Amino acid sequence: NAGVTQTPKFRVLKTGQSMTLLCAQDMNHEYMYWYRQDPGMGLRLIHYSVGEGTTAKGEVPDGYNVSRLKKQNFLLGLESAAPSQTSVYFCASSYTPWAEAFFGQGTRLTVV
Amino acid sequence: GENVEQHPSTLSVQEGDSAVIKCTYSDSASNYFPWYKQELGKRPQLIIDIRSNVGEKKDQRIAVTLNKTAKHFSLHITETQPEDSAVYFCAGGEGTYKYIFGTGTRLKVLA
């Protein structure tokens, strides 16, 4: 039982490049979330999903897109990376929005 | 939308003393209030949570209290130890499906 796994763990991008972060969970959770964590800003919700095939915007969705084609996977895409997107990204999943959220190990992204 | 405010942003206590972190929320429909601990370089992990039908919950040295009328909830850590040093986050579940976190409190336990 791996829980929530994020790929990759580290990445350096040049401004304007694109990339996709993968989040996979094996707990059969319906709800999945993508957060970014910046110093002093806590965990800010980028996008979330309430089930397979659904996505919704969170607090800071601009510059990101997501897809949930399979229940166990939640992908976060950056179409044209900007230095302001340098951050640590965490994926999380939960059985319901009113239950424990399980986090992946994080992805440290640097955009130069 | 939901707003969760957390105070203080940093907190230093002597080992053995108590620490209290407070959060306020805006959405009256919120009914689930978890607290997460994040050690340096690690992922956040749940340490305790409370639901709106309960006023207080304890787990050994950790307790959470909820005041729904005032829309605030607090984390209490007693007999603090060096391993309690970490960043603590509260969260509020918005009436729909969002899981919104506070900005975090960096707790330092001084030996």
Q: Tell me which DSSP letter residue B82 carries.
A: G
pLDDT tens figures, B56-77: 999 999 999 999 899 999 999 9
pLDDT at A47 (0 to 100): 95
In whole angstroms, give the CA distance from residue B42 to residue B44.
Answer: 7
Mean pLDDT of chain A: 95
pLDDT tens figures, A50-76: 999 999 999 899 999 999 999 999 999
pLDDT at B3 (0 to 100): 78
* Contacts of B41 by beta carbon, 8 Å cutoff, 6+ apart: none
The residues on B that touch A, with CB distances below 8 Å, are 1, 6, 9, 31-32, 34, 36, 43-46, 49, 51, 89, 91, 93-94, 96-104
Q: What SS3 class is residue B55? A: coil
Q: How confident is the model at residue A96 (pLDDT cuts 50, 70, 90)?
A: confident
How far the first Cα of chain B sits from its last, in Å, is 41
Q: How confident is the model at residue A98 (pLDDT cuts 50, 70, 90)?
A: confident
* Contacts of A109 by beta carbon, 8 Å cutoff, 6+ apart: A10, A11, A12, A13, A19, A21, A81, A85, A86, A87, A88, A89
Q: Which long-range CB contacts under 8 A does B47-53 form with residues at least 24 apart?
A: B47/B88, B48/B75, B49/A100, B51/A98
How many angstroms away from the CA of A29 is the closest CA of chain B?
A: 13
How many angstroms away from the CA of B46 is the closest CA of chain A?
A: 7
pLDDT at B84 (0 to 100): 98
- CB–CB of A40 and B51 under 8 A? no
- Evaluate if residue A20 carries a pLDDT over 80: yes
Share of chain B residues as helix, strand and coil, in percent rounded to the nearest 5: 5, 55, 40
- Evaluate if residue B48 carries a pLDDT over 80: yes
How many angstroms away from the CA of B44 is the closest CA of chain A?
A: 7
Q: Which residue has the tokens 């969002």?
A: B98
- CB–CB of A103 and B96 under 8 A? no
- The string over A96-112, giving b where at least 16 C-beta atoms fall within 10 Å of a residue's C-beta and e elsewhere, is ebbbebbbbebbebebe
pLDDT at B90 (0 to 100): 95
pLDDT tens figures, A39-56: 877 899 999 999 999 999
pLDDT at A26 (0 to 100): 97
Tell me the mean pLDDT in the region B28-53: 92
Q: Give the residue from B39, B45, B88, B97 with the most A CB atoms within 10 Å of its CB, the best one to mutate.
A: B97
Taking CA atoms, what residue in A is nearest to B1? A59
- Evaluate if residue B1 carries a pLDDT over 60: no
- CB–CB of B43 and A105 under 8 A? yes
pLDDT tens figures, B81-110: 999 999 999 998 665 667 789 999 999 999
pLDDT at A104 (0 to 100): 98
Residues B29/B51, Cβ–Cβ less than 8 Å: no
pLDDT at B97 (0 to 100): 65
In whole angstroms, give the CA distance from residue B103 to residue A44.
Answer: 9
Residues B65/B73, Cβ–Cβ less than 8 Å: yes
The answer to whether residue A10 neighbours chain B at the CB level (below 8 Å) is no
Q: Give the residue from B23, B101, B105 with the most A CB atoms within 10 Å of its CB, the best one to mutate.
A: B101
In whole angstroms, give the CA distance from residue B13 to residue B6.
Answer: 18
